[in-house]
């Protein structure tokens, strides 16, 4: 995926051109994956650019580093301002994706990372539309299991954690699927490589609990709120492989993916093989909230201009 990176990026508290943002080849994060990141969407509605759930992303951004004693040497307000000013500096007037991250810098080959280890923080943006076909995608159950919270914190958006997701993605693409569904170490549904999983059964939403090694997704939280407002309850409980095959509807949620219907799993139709009615309703509600036209969720958006 080739990206049109913003001309200006935020790097260690300053705006510089993309070409001037460099790190040494001895950077610890390059060797050991000691980086923390977020993915944030901003939506252009024709009048303003609205950053979606910025404060919630910043909270998770900081919390992820705490698992690994990786320091974010900027306040939440500074990260908040950096995101807004990044969009302004680049005069962005189209929907985009914002990627803030921080990482361990020059630290030799020392694995004893402490809060005093040198870190750097950066942020860039790029225009972004649909990650997947909104009309529905195919998925395959991966042979690669989602790693357990007993091995590493599954609640952390940490660079090294996503090697597991890369393996599952490579496998599903080789097998001709659009996306993978990963099971946890107990054989229950966990999540997709970059998204949370929901199924609909008898007009009730079911999503794996965080104890199934699922990330505490911000879009996941948004969907549960919106579903409740539409009159649908959500249950967090374990989902077996058999249950996902028999679901009435299945969809994924994530910042990059947004809300994506799965209409085929392992070559079998989900429901009637089309986007389900409840999925459509939730997607419509999500789009209104993200675009800033839902008056009930103005607290979810941060206008740039």
Whole-angstrom distance, CA of residue 227 vs CA of residue 203: 11
Tell me which of 2, 146, 157, 288 is the catalytic residue.
Answer: 157
Q: Which of 154, 174, 134, 146 is nearest to 275 (CA)?
A: 134
Q: For residue 120, list its beta bridge partners.
A: 103
With contact defined as beta carbons under 8 Å apart, do 42 and 304 qualify?
yes
Whole-angstrom distance, CA of residue 189 vs CA of residue 208: 7
Look up 20 and say whether it is catalytic: no
Q: Which helix (H) or strand (E) holds 140?
A: strand 137-141
Pure H helices in 187-302: 218-229, 241-245, 277-291
With contact defined as beta carbons under 8 Å apart, do 4 and 127 qualify?
yes
| Inter-axis angle of helices 54-67 and 76-89, nearest 10 | 130
> Which active-site residues does the annotation give?
157
């Amino acid at each position: 995926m080739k990206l049109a990176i913003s001309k200006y990026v935020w790097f260690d508290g300053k705006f510089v051109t993309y070409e001037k943002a460099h790190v040494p080849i001895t950077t610890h994060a390059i060797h050991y994956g000691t980086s923390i990141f977020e993915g944030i969407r901003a939506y252009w509605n024709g009048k303003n650019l609205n950053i979606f759930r910025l404060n919630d992303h910043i909270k998770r951004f900081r919390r992820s580093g705490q698992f690994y004693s990786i320091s974010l040497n900027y306040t939440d307000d500074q990260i908040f301002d950096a995101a807004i000013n990044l969009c302004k500096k680049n005069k962005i007037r189209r929907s985009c994706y914002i990627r803030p991250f921080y990482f361990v810098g020059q630290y030799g080959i020392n694995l004893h990372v402490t809060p005093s280890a040198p870190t750097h923080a950066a942020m860039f943006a790029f225009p972004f539309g649909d990650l997947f076909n909104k009309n529905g995608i195919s998925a395959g159950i991966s042979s690669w299991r989602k790693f357990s919270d007993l091995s590493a914190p599954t609640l952390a958006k940490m660079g090294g954690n996503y090697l597991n997701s890369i393996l599952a993605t490579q496998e599903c693409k080789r097998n001709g699927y659009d996306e993978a569904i990963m099971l946890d170490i107990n054989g229950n549904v966990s999540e997709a490589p970059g998204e949370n999983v929901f199924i609909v059964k008898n007009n009730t939403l079911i999503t794996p609990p965080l104890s199934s090694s699922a990330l505490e997704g911000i879009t996941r939280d948004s969907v549960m709120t919106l579903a409740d407002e539409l009159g649908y309850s959500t249950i967090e409980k374990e989902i077996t492989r058999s249950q996902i095959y028999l679901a009435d509807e299945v969809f994924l949620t994530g910042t990059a993916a947004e809300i994506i219907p799965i209409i085929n799993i392992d070559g079998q139709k989900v429901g009637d093989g089309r986007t389900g009615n409840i999925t459509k309703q939730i997607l419509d509600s999500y789009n209104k909230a993200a675009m800033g036209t839902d008056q009930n969720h103005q607290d979810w958006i941060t206008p740039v201009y």
